[in-house]
Structure 1
Amino acid sequence: MKAMNGQGGGRDGQSSAPDKRPPLMRGARIPLTDQPAGCSREPLLSEEVLQVDPRFIGRVFSVEVQDVKLPDGRETTRELVRHPGGACVVALDEQGYLTLVHQYRVGTGGPLRELPAGKLEPPEKALTCARRELAEETGYTASHWELLTRFQPSPGYTDEVIYIYLARGLTLGQAHPDEGEFIACERISLGQALLDIDEGRLTDGKTCLGILLAARRLGLTG
């Protein structure tokens, strides 16, 4: 939905009727100078990096510690996880079913239900990564791809960016997971997936966001 800017929007060039919906349901933005008391009204939000100390280089990510100067002149350190980014796929068939994968995740100490996804292998593009991961993990290929969004899952400590795609026009082939990757697949209706999010049975961040955006794109949510 585009933000309302107060300008006429009628097809005949005349001013359209004012949007009487509450702010929750319409595009609205409060100027920085009108923020609540206690919030800074000056965009002093940059930091100067003084020194970078690489601490760890791994197969999936690397870690560095930065010495930085804050806007008020004081100095501190930042710990940053460098990550190449990833792609995630909502693969929706003509019957309204999508595919989830089940795999062990070390962060949860057990299996996790999530959308097909994986990390970028530089210099590949996000869409190339999405196509590759969907085929490897589920066996599906798709004729229609649409970028739903890109988001930063944890910007407080990592530069990772995840691209979420909606894939349709599916053809099922043979899955071929990476060596050492053990995956089970589950077909689930989009409606059931939304219910599983509401009831806490789907907890992976990119998966929840992808399903909610796909439902909105298809007109199933507000």
Structure 2
Amino acid sequence: MDAHLKETRISGEIAYDGSFLKVHRDMIRLPDGKEVSREYIKHPGAVVILPVLDNGNVLLERQFRYPNDRVFIELPAGKIDPGEDHLACAKRELVEETGYTASQWDFVCTIHNAIAYSDEFLDIYLARGLVAGETQLDDGEFIETISMPLAEMLDAIRTGAITDVKTIIGAFWLEKIQAGTWQPG
């Protein structure tokens, strides 16, 4: 059905093999028969946690992100380890980065945040029934947790104070969930 759009891999190589990311360079055949190259990043996938405190505030993080040379406000998230269950990863990342555990988990959706140059996907989970504990940050990880009402979070998105795509999508989902117009999963 989509054959008129499909690109077919002819050959490929690893253009860069880093400790976390691998950049692939493939020769492909376009639907019209022409051959071109495509470069893309292979990524193991990640989870995003949408943690809602009992008072309705959203638990967020402030973290410096080197490629953009600034601190971002974002939802907790992390890379899925090989063979790791996605929900188990979400539970692990929430504890590691914020110290919180949750008694209620709901799958929200899967997003693909960089489809032009990466196969990365992010599974978003809603976490409720939060209980505070101690963080278990990785070496070299520096995170500050904050919380804010959803309305304030949406205003921060509108004004450009929050620009992280996973956080924006999570906030928009939460707005629909709280309004009762969308259901998780």
Q: State if a TM-score over 0.5 links the two structures.
A: yes
Query: Of residues 203, 207, 210 in structure 1, which corresponds to 2:163?
Result: 203
**Structure 2 residue matching 1:167: 3-state secondary structure:** strand
Q: Structure 2: how far apart are the matches of 1:60 and 1:211?
A: 28
* Ranges in structure 1 where 5+ consecutive residues have no aligned partner: 1-41
Query: Of residues 83, 94, 105 in structure 2, which corresponds to 1:123?
Result: 83
Deviations 1:36-88 (A, max 9, x none): xxxxxx75111110101112222221111000011111100000100001001
Is contact 1:148–1:214 with CA below 8 Å preserved after alignment? no
Which consecutive segments of 4 or more residues in structure 1 shift more than 3 A?
none
Q: Structure 1: how far apart are the matches of 2:164 and 2:36?
A: 32
Q: Structure 1: how far apart are the matches of 2:110 and 2:69?
A: 27
**Structure 2 residue matching 1:94: 3-state secondary structure:** coil
Q: Structure 1: how far apart are the matches of 2:150 and 2:39?
A: 38
Check if 1:75 corresponds to 2:68. Answer: no
- What is the CA distance between 1:207 and its match in structure 2? 0.5
Q: Structure 2: how far apart are the matches of 1:220 and 1:190?
A: 15
TM-score (norm 2): 0.93
Q: Structure 1: how far apart are the matches of 2:164 and 2:19?
A: 22
Residue 69 of structure 2: aligned partner: 109
* Ranges in structure 2 where 5+ consecutive residues have no aligned partner: none
Identity rate of aligned residues, in percent?
37
Q: Structure 1: how far apart are the matches of 2:181 and 2:168?
A: 14
Q: Structure 2: how far apart are the matches of 1:63 and 1:70?
A: 21
Q: Structure 1: how far apart are the matches of 2:149 and 2:112?
A: 27
Q: Give the partner amino acid of 1:137.
A: E
Residue 8 of structure 2: aligned partner: 48
Q: Structure 2: how far apart are the matches of 1:210 and 1:57?
A: 31
Q: Give the structure with the higher percent strand.
A: 2
Residue 145 of structure 1: aligned partner: 105
Q: Structure 2: how far apart are the matches of 1:92 and 1:131?
A: 14
**Structure 1 residue matching 2:126: 3-state secondary structure:** strand
**Structure 1 residue matching 2:179: 3-state secondary structure:** coil
- What is the CA distance between 1:141 and its match in structure 2? 0.4
Is contact 1:101–1:183 with CA below 8 Å preserved after alignment? yes
**Structure 2 residue matching 1:207: 3-state secondary structure:** helix
Larger Rg: 1
Residue 152 of structure 2: aligned partner: 192
Is contact 2:3–2:31 with CA below 8 Å preserved after alignment? no
Residue 135 of structure 2: aligned partner: 175
Check if 1:216 corresponds to 2:176. Answer: yes
Q: Give the partner amino acid of 2:76.
A: P
Q: Give the partner amino acid of 2:114.
A: S
- What is the CA distance between 1:107 and its match in structure 2? 2.0
Q: How many residues align?
A: 182
Q: Which has the higher contact order (CA 8 A, sep 6+)?
A: 2
Q: Give the partner amino acid of 1:112.
A: F
Residue 61 of structure 1: aligned partner: 21
Q: Structure 1: how far apart are the matches of 2:121 and 2:144?
A: 26
Query: Of residues 49, 52, 57 in structure 2, which corresponds to 1:89?
Result: 49
